[in-house]
Structure 1
Amino acid sequence: MSRRLLLSVAGLGLLSAAGCATAVPSPGDLAAHAGGGGPTPGTPSGRAGTPTPSPSPTGPGTAAAASAPPRPSATPSTRTVGAVNVPSPSLSPAAPQPRRVGSPLFSLPSHDRLVALTIDDGPDPANTPVVLSILQQYGIRATFFLIGENAARQPALVREIADHGHHIANHTWTHPDLRGLSETTVRDELQRTCDLLHTATGRAPTWFRAPGGDWSDVSLRVGAELGMRPMGWSVDPQDWARPGTSAITTRVLQAVGPGSIVLNHDGGGDRSQTIAALRMYLPVLIDEGYRFTAPPQ
């Protein structure tokens, strides 16, 4: 199915959903998201989806996927499904998108149809295995940003993610808003998660993500001292708010482009809409010639 056709179908679904039972954020979702730092992990509300502006002087920011203009459908590719995984790109100094040391990575240094899929807030015993199955079906490697206290409850699932060849990254221990926290608290959030993930997989994480994209100078510095680089995103369908499968699919397909880092969630509550959207938009992107990678360890 072409992107144009799928977007048309999704658009009709959104129009019809306006008068029926399309899922909307719960009061808890909206209350938690209003604070900008995301709710406590493990609750139905999930997490905040739109980050605050980057501390980078250029302020690449996080693109608001919902407001991105529709992109014309690309010529379908004959690329074989299941052969879409590519080696991690080199982040050489000569690559596009220069960034100062310590600032978050918001997109890949690529003008090719290369994208990175990132999955936040797991591991979740119900959702994560399904996501792993979908990624395996299409031969896609992703980056999973895991919450420490969730990983502590699911160590076998952490190892399973790693065994599937995905990158495992640090998403703090309790998913707090890092802004305004003391250096000691920030270090504890990141260090505990690093130690746990290293123990579970035999490899220390080299990427971390601030909950809600709410970076601070302290968190960037502490992350660097722990040997990690910060990663943001450029495509945010706000699936944390459960806007409906059609909305998530449309937002991703409208906003994705060469070098995009796409944000989705497998933790924080009911993620059935996200899972359904993955099944819809991944084969469309593959048909259009997009390839998937995980930023280098």
Structure 2
Amino acid sequence: MSPVLGIGARGAVKAAAVVAGGLALAHAAPAVTSIQPLEPLRRRLFPRFGGVGDPGHVALTFDDGPDPLSTPRFLKVLEHRGVKATFFLLGFMLERDPGLGREIAAAGHEVAVHGYLHRPMVLRTPAQTRDDLSRARDLVASATGVSPRWYRPPYGIATTSALRTARRLDMTPVLWTSWGLDWRAGATGSSVYDTVTGNLDGGGTILLHDSDCTSAPASWTATLSALPRLLDHCEERGWKLGPLADHGIS
């Protein structure tokens, strides 16, 4: 190879690498919003995506179900308190128990999409992303008879492909403002309560889990223990508690 052709080939390789790097960056850029220290900035710059809504309302959301062992216990507490919530369902969990998905919707709760598999979207190609979200959306709609309005990516890590696919499927991506760290081993009712309320304000969205399918075994018991106190906390401050549909962010 002549020196001139060699230089040209090296230049082409560098140019291709730059293009590939740019495409990868564009694909993964939305994932930056999942970094927890940047959460206050996310709320300011992207309030709707971050779950900020009506100041007089707090949205209550649960991820990773439906689980036949744990989810009915949450439904029982919510029924007793007269509170509705939004459940972000995983497709593979719903396939195992579609009847429980129907039960959630029949009880007046909102059903939403958390994906088919609980895997980071940054590790998926656009085609895999489209397949995952479409499959999960169709399962939720078929099992519950309701077309889901909301999408929350696993781990809160979004990609350009995930956001575009969600919107193409008529779903609005939404994260949260307060979480309970309830998936961790060693979580207790008190730790979940303290973590959620530490930065919860009116207009916030609470993230909890009604299943331990991606969490420490039996971690949902800490969440269930904290739930009545969290409901009391919101009521005492005059915040109306309910699903995302009533949160004023659509």
The alignment's TM-score, normalised by the length of structure 1, stands at: 0.65
Give how far 1:210 is off.
Answer: 0.5
> For residue 151 of structure 2, what is the aligned residue in structure 1?
208
Give the SS at the match of 2:180: coil
Higher helix share: 2
1:135 to 1:205, Cα distance in 2 relative to 1, 3 A: same
Contact 1:61/1:234 (<8 A) preserved:
no
Q: Does 1:189 align with 2:168?
A: no
Contact 2:52/2:177 (<8 A) preserved:
no
**CA separation in 2, counterparts of 1:130 and 1:212?**
24
Q: Which has the higher contact order (CA 8 A, sep 6+)?
A: 1
1:241 to 1:205, Cα distance in 2 relative to 1, 3 A: same
Give how far 1:52 is off.
Answer: 5.1
> For residue 129 of structure 1, what is the aligned residue in structure 2?
72
**CA separation in 1, counterparts of 2:45 and 2:243?**
19
Give the SS at the match of 2:58: strand
> For residue 106 of structure 1, what is the aligned residue in structure 2?
50
- Alignment of structure 1 residues 60-79 onto 2, 5 Å: 61-62=38-39
1:232 to 1:115, Cα distance in 2 relative to 1, 3 A: same
Indicate the percent of aligned positions where both proteins have the same amino acid.
33
The alignment's TM-score, normalised by the length of structure 2, stands at: 0.77
Cα deviation code 1:105-130 (max 9, x no counterpart): 21333232x10010000001111001
Contact 1:162/1:168 (<8 A) preserved:
yes
**Which runs of no fewer than 5 residues in structure 2 stay unpaired?**
1-29
Give how far 1:53 is off.
Answer: 3.2
1:184 to 1:104, Cα distance in 2 relative to 1, 3 A: farther
Letter in 1 for 2:179: D
Q: What is the Cα-based RMSD across aligned positions, in Å? A: 2.5
Contact 1:61/1:106 (<8 A) preserved:
no
Contact 2:66/2:94 (<8 A) preserved:
yes
> For residue 281 of structure 1, what is the aligned residue in structure 2?
230
Letter in 2 for 1:273: A
> For residue 90 of structure 1, what is the aligned residue in structure 2?
none
Give how far 1:98 is off.
Answer: 7.3
Give the SS at the match of 2:192: helix
- Alignment of structure 1 residues 247-266 onto 2, 5 Å: 247-266=191-210
